[in-house]
Structure 1
Amino acid sequence: MRVDLFDFDLPPESIALRPARPRDAAQMLVVDGERPFCNRHVRDLPDALRAGDVLVFNDTRVIPAQLEGTRGEARIGATLHKRIDLRRWQAFVRNAKRLRAGDLIAFPADVTAVAEERHDDGSWTLAFQGDEPVEVLLERAGRMPLPPYIAGKRPTDEADATDYQTMFAREKGAVAAPTAALHFTPELMKALGTAGIGSETLTLHVGAGTFLPVKADDTAEHRMHAEWGRIDAATADRLNAVRAGGGRLIAVGTTSLRVLESATGEDGVILPFEGDTSIFITPGYRFKAVDGLMTNFHLPKSTLFMLVSALMGLERMQAVYAHAIENGYRFYSYGDSSLLIP
């Protein structure tokens, strides 16, 4: 499909620079089949779902994966993208033209890394020096990797260390938050449980590739960056039991959805999964695992807007986004939410 079909005009003032407080006070646009749109708030979620439904969350934890350093007199910026092994990460590099294989990059707090190899997509393999775990080094030298559409308008500050982390964050390794789950609070989870709505978790370590624009003119020419995910056998069994009993699986975020769809066979059975996924979902895709999606509002011409258009239909999502803009919904990572039931 032509990528420009997924374009739309978004006023700059629609981009949220801070999250709603409290988190579950964010607006939520409910889109249930062909029914009229319903303007709600995230705290109303128990009333928008039904007993027996299960929300599937991503328990990845964002690491301080953005680094500023030097190679000689040249300033080098690095955003870690994907772990390769215990000491090596693939990273997107700013001012990469000043790097050569074998160069040593000096970051703050005596953290250093060797630029080992440049990849076809322009990213580099960085090998961190020393014996300390890389996560420890990042805590000393790194900062939270806010999306460029926020970082370009204000600096990262102390509030982001908690604002950009979900209440489910346990497994360290993401360089971007699974933002749909930023809206959840312990109080909301208690209300969902009281309403008979369950929850499960899986893991997808979101990479910086989630922020990259689609540069191809046709979706068939776009290559997704791989991200590591996992569903254990016990979780897969429980999710299959929910569907067998007539319950619906509602993915909280496109990251949870992508792992579920990657782990599910053509027969609709969710299998244990551990490894990389580069699944690219566009209109025409047949969903096998999910019955709905809770997600924020995404960038024009992004793979995520293509995904929601695959779930709900392109014309329907164009109408959804026009309604959201007209009614003052806030967009992107710190923005408002939508509940999409095809």
Structure 2
Amino acid sequence: MTTDTSSAAPCACGNHAGQRAIDIHAHFYPKEYLDAVAAHGEAAGAHFVDLKGTQALKVGPLFTGPIADRFIDLDMRLEDMQQSGVSSQLLSLTQPMVYWADERLADHLSAVFNDALAAAHQKAPEQLFGFATLPMQFPDRAIAEAKRVAQIPGIKGVYLGTAINDTNLSDRSFWPVYAVLEELGLPIFLHPLKVVGMTDRLSEYFLANILGNPFDTAIAAAHLIFSGVLDAFPKLQIALPHGGGALPFLLGRISHGWSVRPECVHLETDPRAYASRFYYDTITHDEKALAYLIEQVGVDRVLLGSDYCFDMGLEQPRKAVETLDVLNDAEKSQILGLNAKELLKM
């Protein structure tokens, strides 16, 4: 049953108060997943840490916490959605994901999380949907889980790291997974996990997130372009977080490198042309940056995102779109929800 949030004060959402807002970037730590990590993860290096009464999770260099109740409790989430004017969320797991686990545990944790997505959708079928987690370090297992979740109501795509442990997404071992995802019509939403530089030059001042996340997204996108993944799977849809990270602002440099460097001549098409193959969320923290992103890739490639409920996210994600003067009302409606509705077949 959907939680009654009628007592919550609605968001002041301007001229688009009636527009369905679909947030594609919202994180979820179901209790079932956390319990499974606690029960089976210790031997694989997963450790829970107490942060003044709230748990955090550490796996190698990845540290996630505090994992506040709002990440777990769906009733609290639905209330927050009411407050922010978000109609629907696409729930996704984030670090440490399941890539640190052995084959059996990774497969188990993926299934536990994905089944929790199904339960969340059953609880609020018009509001909560999910991006499934796959044990990508074991491609055969990932393929089997992708085929399973494609039959589960409410699952609208899959969530992958910008790298799988230390392996780039261009690696040929992942191509059979991409083939299946393309065939199943399951879009991919990427998110940084173990980012470049996080254990050395970006280890201070939260720079692994502030700088490392957008850099790692650009690295992943470049690998997908130059490796031929996007050419080999022309119907595969991929969304990039945090406004595409550094990618939109480096398109000119990437294009120039392609035109002069022998390492890049194998690509027949200017890599700038591939920018519109990706989708991008709205989390740029700067209206000029968001306007530039839209100018570079087109309004039809941009989707609403919040990064719920991390402090690096947006508490009022609609505001970034509704206050952007370069957009007309129809374009704002596209970004708020119509683009996601079309992409995810909602």
Q: Which TM-score tier does this pair reach, normalised by the shorter chain?
A: 0.3 to 0.5
The structure whose residues are more often helix, as a share, is 2
TM-score (normalizing by structure 2): 0.33
Instruction: Flag the structure with more relative contact order, 1 or 2, with Cα contacts below 8 A and sequence separation at least 6.
Output: 1
Q: TM-score, normalised by structure 1?
A: 0.33
